Amino acid sequence: MSSRKVFVIGLGLIGGSIALAIKKEHPNTLVHGFDIKDDQLKMAKSLGVIDELVDSIQEGVVNADLIILATPVTKTEELIEVLVGCELKPSAIITDVGSTKEKIVKKAISLEAKKVTFIGGHPMAGSHKTGVDAAKAHLFENAFYILTPSANTNMNKIIQLQNWLKGTKAKFIELSPKQHDELAGIISHFPHIIAASLVHQVAKIEKEEPLLSNLAAGGFRDITRIASASPIMWRDILIHNKETLLKLLTRWQEEMELVKQLIDKAEDQEIYDYFQTAKIFRDGLPTKQKGAIPSFYDLYVDVPDHPGVISDVTGILAREEISITNIRILETREDIMGVLRLSFRSDQDRDRALACLKDHLYEGYIGS
């Protein structure tokens, strides 16, 4: 029996993690890869993320049973045009990982003449790290993986794609491309705009108040973390999901006008109700479930003002083989307890770290 072949175009965090999940679940499959960044491509091969690297897309698609376009959305559109001119296996399935779907699925209609099946995809999970060296087979575990087949997509092909991707251990949901873009716009794309706009506001005011950036180093920096995402990626997403985001911005302006009126009239009960309603809804959101924005698995640890305390904490976790993705000192003053914020890859790692540190008499708590 001949091996099946998967071709991954784009070997960053997402493409690399899907490749690893496929290799784990389908060990007899050969995974070939291509990336415009030669260092990423070679690293993917050396790390065993792919079995073979290729020098061109035309070479990689030959006899491929599954082709994964793991690139930014604008690049995915360009790749579809390239694939139209390639020799493709008639039974091949082509999918992408883009955060917008309508324009891409519409573009993929041009592939129908090749007798292949295109099914839009969007794994709604990620990490605050990038690059193939951060790829993990379990990155998408328990995350939502949206599939956006067209109305005439053969059901067997949808099932085949889910079987290819079952090693991700994700939860598959089928949506129309339009429905996907509207929902992703609300809970992912729009919050990134708000975070970026808050940062812009502080940056402008800082010219008049130089102390502002120091004060913003704590909580403000935390609530605007998503503003540090790739500008190229978000430029393309905003252009692709233009109609949805313009509607949301109009509704946001109306919401802010309401808040402005509440403040202007000093309506104490209504202001209280506004925040109380938001608190109830927010507190009721799932805590164990991965959403569209990568979660921050943070642990806050009280530490004494003593030389070597940070190395003691990290040493304890290292001995238990618990990996920390980020560490930050939030507060440390002479004669009082300081606070370390430790970030982890998953809630399991965070919970293990909490239990481990408690065994060593450290007090820690999980932020909400």
CB 166 within 8 Å of CB 25: yes
Contacts of 166 (CB under 8 A, 6+ apart): 25
Whose tokens are 């927010």? That residue is: 282
pLDDT of the residue at 197:
95
Contacts of 151 (CB under 8 A, 6+ apart): none
Q: Is the pLDDT of residue 334 over 50?
A: no
At the top level of CATH, the class of 5-175 is alpha beta
3-state DSSP assignment of residue 58 = helix
Question: Tens of pLDDT along 253-276?
Answer: 999 999 999 999 998 999 999 999
**For 189, left (φ over 0), alpha (ψ -120 to 50), or beta?**
alpha
* CA gap 13, 354 in Å, rounded: 27
* CA gap 240, 79 in Å, rounded: 16
User: Residue ranges of the alpha helices (H) in the chain?
Assistant: 13-25, 38-46, 57-60, 73-84, 102-107, 155-165, 177-184, 190-206, 212-215, 219-223, 231-240, 242-265, 268-283, 309-319, 347-359
pLDDT of the residue at 126:
67
Contacts of 333 (CB under 8 A, 6+ apart): 305
Within its chain, how far is the Cα of 291 from the centroid?
9
Q: Is the pLDDT of residue 297 over 60?
A: yes
Contacts of 41 (CB under 8 A, 6+ apart): 11, 33, 34, 35, 53
Q: Over the range 199-213, which residues count as b (16 or more CB within 10 Å of their CB) and which as e? A: beebeeeeeeeeeee
* CA gap 300, 8 in Å, rounded: 38
Domain ranges of the chain: 5-175, 180-283, 297-366
Q: Taking all residues of the chain, what is their mean pLDDT, rounded to a whole number? A: 89
Q: 170 or 347, which is more confident?
A: 170
pLDDT of the residue at 338:
77
pLDDT of the residue at 1:
45
pLDDT of the residue at 49:
96
Question: Tens of pLDDT along 130-154?
Answer: 789 888 998 898 889 999 999 889 9
CATH of domain 180-283: 1.10.3660.10
Q: What is the mean pLDDT of residues 293-313?
A: 80
Domain 5-175 identical in fold to domain 180-283? no
5-19, 224-238, 258-272, 295-309: segment of lowest average pLDDT: 295-309
CB 49 within 8 Å of CB 16: yes
Q: Is 3.30.2130.10 the CATH number for 297-366?
A: yes
